[in-house]
Structure 1
Amino acid sequence: MGAPKQPLTPLAMAILELLHERPMHPYEMTQIMRYRRVDYRVKLRPGSLYHTVERLDGQGLIEVVDTQRQGRRPERTVYGMTEHGRDVFTAQVHQMVATPADEYPEFPVALSALGELTPEEAVEQLKMRVMNLRARLAADQVVIEQVTADNLPPMYWIDYAYSHHQRKSELDFTQQLIEDLESGRMPWPDESGHHLAIVKDEKNDKTG
């Protein structure tokens, strides 16, 4: 039961974060994560959560502290965090906060391939993204207004505020990109120009 060989996954971090509050069984963890919208930033599936709990238990980061049974329901195992788990969790939080991670979101990949579409297709899909972003931002705002009305301390939903800010920035960028494409400020590459650039690069490689 040593330290994990690989950094803890986002789901593992979310589980350990919950267990800072009190011991819980996996079903309760799932319900609280969904209520708090943790599934907006962590892939949350019941099967993967149970598997992650078992792995954390095997690593000595959490341990069984109780079992519960209600009526005819199956027995539920309650887990608590170990001291080793607290140490590993704290060390990873330090690293994650201080060091920007290399992350690989889909949108930059799509933007790099945008020139392979027609200008009309590109603008149409970007406008669809704007609609989807506005819908997500509106849903965000409902949640933010609710937690504000409930006087929930901002530190408890700072991750949600960060995601909301990211979506606003992405919306601004996407709207500006659409304007630049429609106005011609960002010219669309033609096929011949694209191939000329490739030939030029190949020539430089041979003579460099």
Structure 2
Amino acid sequence: MGAKLTPLAVAVLSLLHEKTMHPYEMAQLMRERFTDHHVKVKAGSLYHTVDRLAAAELIEVVGTQRDGKRPERTVYGITPAGRDAVLERARAMLSTPAEEYPEFVNGLSLIDELGAEEAIVELRRRELELATGVAADQVILAKLHEQQVAGVHQLHWRYSAARREFELEWTRQLIDDLKHGRISWHEDKPALTLLTEDGSGAQNG
């Protein structure tokens, strides 16, 4: 596998770096640790990724396992080349900020086109979704704690939860700034019309 490892390939190699296991166990652990919330994990794509890693000699078959009357399962282990590859990828991901192009950043550049009123309506929708996500994050973190998942396997969730909470607070502050005219606009933009409690308009600015 000469190309850069996919997120799912990194997840598989990371699990096999812990111990040998079969793909079904990999999928179980990803669900238990909620890895599947950050990496797209489908049965077909998981087995395809395992096959590609094996073909690239980053993992290898180390045996088989049978549980009761279930079909025999192939157990994989990581190879020295696979260990080197995942460690190299880990160093790069931790040390180098990735060039990402989130849609929200692009959306912020278009607020001037929408105008303050419409932007506030859309941002309030975002605020609601973020608040729901923050609550869901807390539930997941509590479950991870209850299941006594090692803290090192909770780091990705702790980071995601903190980032979502920051984005929620930032969005709320932006809404407040737009409502109270603390954001400067082009001179040809109309003043913001805020709706009062009775539904009538009040000019701001």
CA distance in 1, matches of 2:144, 2:22: 25
CA distance in 2, matches of 1:126, 1:160: 24
Deviations 1:150-193 (A, max 9, x none): 55442221111111111111111111111111111114447679
Match of residue 145, structure 2, among 148, 152, 161: 148
| Unpaired stretches in structure 2, ≥5 consecutive residues | 191-205
Match of residue 27, structure 2, among 27, 30, 44: 30
Residue pair 2:59, 2:78 contacting (<8 A) in 1 also: yes
Match of residue 52, structure 2, among 45, 50, 55: 55
Give the direction of change, closer, same or farther, for the CA distance of 1:82–1:13 in structure 2 (3 Å limit): same
Where do residues 98-177 of structure 1 align in structure 2 (5 Å cutoff)? 98-177=95-174
The normalised TM-score by structure 2 is: 0.82
User: What is the Cα deviation at residue 149 of structure 1?
Assistant: 4.5
User: What is the Cα deviation at residue 71 of structure 1?
Assistant: 6.0
CA distance in 2, matches of 1:190, 1:41: 43
User: What is the Cα deviation at residue 5 of structure 1?
Assistant: 2.3
Q: Is 2:16 aligned against 1:16?
A: no
Give the direction of change, closer, same or farther, for the CA distance of 1:114–1:44 in structure 2 (3 Å limit): farther
User: What is the Cα deviation at residue 45 of structure 1?
Assistant: 2.0
| Unpaired stretches in structure 1, ≥5 consecutive residues | 194-208
Give the direction of change, closer, same or farther, for the CA distance of 1:57–1:178 in structure 2 (3 Å limit): same
Give the direction of change, closer, same or farther, for the CA distance of 1:170–1:64 in structure 2 (3 Å limit): same
User: What is the aligned-residue RMSD (CA, Å)?
Assistant: 2.3
2:86: which partner in 1? 89
User: What is the Cα deviation at residue 96 of structure 1?
Assistant: 1.5
- What one-letter code is carried by the residue in structure 1 that aligns with 2:109? S
User: What is the Cα deviation at residue 70 of structure 1?
Assistant: 4.8
Moved more, 143-152 or 156-165: 143-152
CA distance in 1, matches of 2:34, 2:87: 22
Give the direction of change, closer, same or farther, for the CA distance of 1:87–1:119 in structure 2 (3 Å limit): same
Give the direction of change, closer, same or farther, for the CA distance of 1:190–1:66 in structure 2 (3 Å limit): farther
User: What is the Cα deviation at residue 118 of structure 1?
Assistant: 4.2
Where do residues 38-53 of structure 1 align in structure 2 (5 Å cutoff)? 38-53=35-50
- What one-letter code is carried by the residue in structure 2 that aligns with 1:110? G
User: What is the Cα deviation at residue 33 of structure 1?
Assistant: 0.6
SS in 1 for 2:2: coil
The normalised TM-score by structure 1 is: 0.81
Deviations 1:121-142 (A, max 9, x none): 2211111111111111111112
Residue-pair matches, total = 190
Percent identity between the aligned chains? 48
Match of residue 66, structure 1, among 60, 63, 71: 63
CA distance in 2, matches of 1:56, 1:112: 41
User: What is the Cα deviation at residue 9 of structure 1?
Assistant: 1.3
